[in-house]
Amino acid sequence: MGFTMGLNLLLLLAMVATNILSLYHLSSILQSKPPTPLPVPDHLLHQLQTIRATINHLTRLQPTTTPTTTKRPSIPSDLLLYTHLSPIASSCHQHPDLLHKYMTYTPFSLCPLDSSLAEALILRGCHPLPRRRCFTKTPPSIPTSLPTNPFGPIPDNAIIWNPYTCKTFYCLNPYLGFDPKSEKSKFVTYKSDLDLPIQQLLAIANLSYSVVRLGLDIGGGTGTFAAQMKGFNVTVLTTTMNLGAPYNEVVGLRGLVPLHTPLQQRLPVFDGVVDIVRCGHGVNRWIPVTALEFLFFDVDRVLRGGGYFWLDHFFSKGVDLEKVYGPLIGKLGYKKVKWAVGNKSDSSGVKNGEVYLSALLQKPVSK
């Protein structure tokens, strides 16, 4: 033990002496001119390069950004499935929050009552919608047959009112097309040059030796035009959106065919099979010109040669009708059978200098 303590003491003295000599040598170097640095040996350079390469490799294994605390929702399995099996519009992926909310449901059970969420996606270009494997809830009162009179009353219990603010038809604004009595006089009466009664429309077609059998009503609300044409043995499909009220349901309950399709969507009809296409109040100056041009040429796609394109009460600013919309309609090269312009007399029309256009255009047979 005495030997060990002596050895430790000797080592301690040697270390102290070494440090003193080092300090002395260092102080003498700082006071004198620094010598020329010696070249670094090759084996040290090689070791430094090895260390640098190792550090770079480890750095690449680390994430480049600091992870955030916000966790993105996982992709629903059904969305992944139908990405491969069913067409999904590319714009669906531009709205991940809405899409994730829409696709979060329980397969093989009742679908959520979220028609407003579905329409929010459709109006943003996400169409067709990807949800498939759930069962649609049906209303408590189911019609047993098609109605003989499409202008008859519709019972409240034939509608699922959960998604809507109103819970009865009485609550809805009658001017929106939900009052059968007031709807019965539409499209069959003449009040101004802007009107085109169905009798006059069919007479014009007969004079041109053109038959009207199939039609498409774009933005047709509750389907009143289709209901009136049904009385003249003409079948008309109605494109409509709900937008806070049961438009599609009412069209179906009237014994007509609703197409849940937005204005910017390609019309779900084959080329050249329709005799007449009507665009109602929903087609107006608030639609971007590019989208409107797309719609007009899609109308041309589905119309047969000799068919009719009816712009019914299209409204815009008077100056825009002359400089923008008139030339846009002229691009179709259709014959102007009727072209009537009148002032839009409500408060918005007076304030903005708006006018109505009612035009009946005939597609050339040669097209």
pLDDT band for position 13 (50/70/90)?
low
Q: Is the pLDDT of residue 303 over 90?
A: yes
pLDDT digits (tens, 9 = 90+) for 241-288: 998 999 999 999 999 999 998 888 899 999 999 999 999 988 999 999
In angstroms, the Cα distances linking 5 to 2, 9, 10, 11, 17 are 5, 6, 9, 10, 19
| DSSP β-ladder status, 274-279 and 214-218 | parallel
CA distance 212 to 309: 12
User: Where is average pLDDT lowest: 15-19, 82-86, 222-226?
Assistant: 82-86
Q: Is the pLDDT of residue 26 over 90?
A: no
Q: Is the pLDDT of residue 196 over 50?
A: yes
What average pLDDT does range 94-123 have in this prediction?
90
Q: Is the pLDDT of residue 78 over 90?
A: no
Helix-, strand-, coil-residue percentages of the chain, each rounded to 5: 40, 15, 45
Spell out the SS3 assignment of 86-127: CCCCHHHHHCHHHHHHHHCCCCCCECCCCHHHHHHHHHCCCC
Structure-token pair, residue 264: 């910017």
Compute the mean pLDDT over every residue in the chain, rounded to the nearest whole number.
83
What average pLDDT does range 199-228 have in this prediction?
95
Which residues partner with 308 through β-bridges?
A: 276, 362
In a 13 Å sphere around the CA of 288, the CA atoms on its Cβ side amount to 4
Helix (H) or strand (E) holding 337: strand 335-343
pLDDT digits (tens, 9 = 90+) for 125-145: 888 788 888 999 888 777 777
Task: Provide the 10 A C-beta neighbour count for residue 78.
Answer: 17
The DSSP output letter for 190 is: -
Residue 64's pLDDT is 47
Q: Is the pLDDT of residue 113 over 80?
A: yes
What average pLDDT does range 47-63 have in this prediction?
50
CA distance 255 to 226: 10
